[in-house]
Amino acid sequence: MQRRLPRARSPIGVVGFLVVMEIGSGVLQGWFSPLLAAIGQQFDVGAGALNWVNAMYMLMTVACVPILAKLGDMFGHKRLLVVASSLVAVGSFVVAFAPSFEVFLLGRALQAPLAAFLPLEFAIVRARDERSASKSIGVLVGALTLGAAVGSLLSGILFGAIGDLGIVLLIPAVFIALCVPVVVLLVPETTVRRHGRVDVIGAILLTAGLLAVLTGVSNAGRWGWFDLRTIALILGGTVLLALWVFVERRIQDPLVDLTMLTRGGIGLPIIASVLFGAQTYGGQTASFLWLLGDHARDGYGLGLAPAAAGAIIVLYALAAFLGTLIGDRLARRISAPRAIALAGVVAAASFALMICFAGVSALFITSMAIGGVSAGVLLAVLPAVVVRNAPADSVGIASALFNTARTAAGAAAGAVFALVMTLFVTASTADATTDAHSTPLSFFAVWAICLAIALVLAVVGLRIRVTAPAAAPQSAPDLPTAQTIEDR
């Protein structure tokens, strides 16, 4: 079945509209961390409950992103981008006007489709111009990274100036709401459709399995790794994921075509995304704790003030933004696999430098910035490879699997690294009270593991193969072009 569409808009203009959305997406993702203390005071909840502000969002992204992306492949990526942005706008207003902490968390759950923006946008930019898609993906990821840096800085400044949490939370809600008509009016629809039925059983099994495993791993530090709840969730989730694989291999229209992972050039990039998420996001907590720790009081750290540590976090994000800008150029010059391998080696070098110069503030911060640049290169190049290798009717779900794998790996690695750090503690006694503190060796152990993971990432990167882009179609210069929707 084919339907003719009017001439497409300029790919540059389309990317420009999407860049604005990604800046807003990044701002919203970075908006909450500086406000956690104020959120706790507003709703009278403690630090344990505040963990759910980010945990609820993370868990729901794992649940909804693959489903939204798959529906985009089937029914149109612009259509699902409108749905996702509308849900995020509603969730943002719920957060801003929440009368209780429970309603606030409901709003955070409704904001989870924010993480589906990138997979849907990747499919849109590939559909507009496959040959320039890698560059466009780098620009979009860079906009997200820059927005996150701006959001984390701006929200704290605004709250300090205004002092009203509701107004500060309302600002990103209004911005996201304004993005909805922009998508409706200015972003064109993609043309290739994935034919088939919605795999409801596969979606339920994948969502339940991932949620169970991540909930168990995320709470293992609080419950204990051998607690019955932790074991039940991890084992139960693993069984559900195994059942999901069994089902996906035997139905006609699976949520995820597993042959795409095993023989379609997507498997190795997703393995690389797991390694990247583990070494980058899993190790961040240890690095930022080192910035804040006071060596005289805690036995480790640089003793920086919270404001200074916050500025360094912004510096890291800006370094990652720089990396996203050079990622596509580097891939074009030396090839994407070599760019991934080089970024892995640079990441390993940054962790080695952090271990060597842990006591020298300037050199430690410089080492972190080097790691930020390498992270930015990987953020730009890896999804571009996934989009390039994915079948035209499966770009959304392939990109979603990449993002979900990276997020899940970061969350799991963070929990495992927290366990590693408990293996290297020392006890101190003051005022008849004995406290346990992490030792510098615990941080070095985490960074050494991240170093090893980065080197494995470099090796995996060299084995990745990239599909050549399709040749640009030839058309008469004075004739309007037409596109077709293909049912596959």
pLDDT of the chain along its 488 residues, tens only? 334 344 444 545 677 788 889 999 999 998 998 888 889 889 998 766 787 888 889 889 988 999 999 999 999 999 999 999 999 999 999 999 999 999 999 999 999 999 999 999 999 999 888 888 888 899 999 999 989 888 988 888 898 888 899 999 999 999 999 999 988 988 888 888 887 788 899 999 999 999 999 889 888 878 888 999 999 999 999 999 999 999 999 888 898 888 888 887 899 999 999 999 999 887 887 888 888 888 777 778 888 887 788 788 889 989 999 999 999 999 999 999 999 999 999 999 999 999 999 989 999 999 999 999 999 999 999 999 999 999 888 899 999 999 999 988 988 888 888 888 888 777 665 555 555 677 889 899 999 999 999 999 999 999 999 987 665 444 434 333 334 444 43
Instruction: Please give the C-alpha separations between residue 121 and each of 19, 252, 326, 361, 470, in angstroms, as whole numbers.
Output: 10, 27, 20, 39, 19
Q: Identify the pLDDT of residue 431.
A: 54
Domain with CATH 1.20.1250.20 in the chain: 1-195, 260-471
The distance between the two most distant Cα atoms of the chain, rounded to a whole number of Å, is 86
Provide the angle, in degrees to the nearest 10, between the axes of the packed helices 47-75 and 117-128: 30
- Candidates 133, 99, 92; CA nearest to 113 is 92
pTM: 0.85
Residue 128's Cα: distance from chain center in Å?
Answer: 24
pLDDT (tens digit, 9 = 90+) per residue, 337-386?
999 999 999 999 999 999 999 989 999 999 999 999 999 999 999 999 99
Cα–Cα distance for residue pair 372/341, rounded to 1 Å: 15
Q: What is the pLDDT of residues 427-445, one digit of tens each?
A: 665 555 555 677 889 899 9
Q: What is the DSSP letter of 44?
A: T
**Domain covering 1-195, topology:** Growth Hormone; Chain: A; (1.20.1250)
CA nearest 275: which of 389, 131, 405?
Answer: 405
Per-position DSSP letters for 198-253, written without gaps between them: --HHHHHHHHHHHHHHHHHHHHHHHH-TTSHHHHHHHHHHHHHHHHHHHHHTTSSS
Contact 392, 192 (CB under 8 A): yes
Closest CA to 407 of 280, 248, 266: 280
482 alpha-carbon distance from chain centroid: 35
The predicted structure's pLDDT at residue 113:
95
For residues 21 and 183, the answer to whether their CB atoms sit within 8 Å is yes
Half-sphere exposure of 87 (CA within 13 A, CB side): 21
* Residue 296 to residues 26, 299, 441, 444, Cα–Cα distance (Å): 36, 6, 16, 18
**What angle (nearest 5°) sits at the alpha carbon of residue 141, between those of residues 138 and 147?**
135
Could you say which architecture CATH assigns to the domain 260-471? Up-down Bundle (1.20)
Cβ neighbours around 142 below 10 Å, total: 26
Q: Which residue has the tokens 């290169």?
A: 377
- From CA 86, how far away is CA 91, in angstroms rounded? 9
CA-wise closest residue to 403 among 208, 82, 119, 163: 119
Residue 434, pLDDT score = 53
Under 8 Å between Cβ of 255 and 248: yes
Q: What are phi and psi of 438, to 5 degrees?
A: -70, 150
DSSP structure string for 418-459? HHHHHTSEEEEEETTEEEEEE-HHHHHHHHHHHHHHHHHHHH
Residue 55 is predicted with a pLDDT of: 82
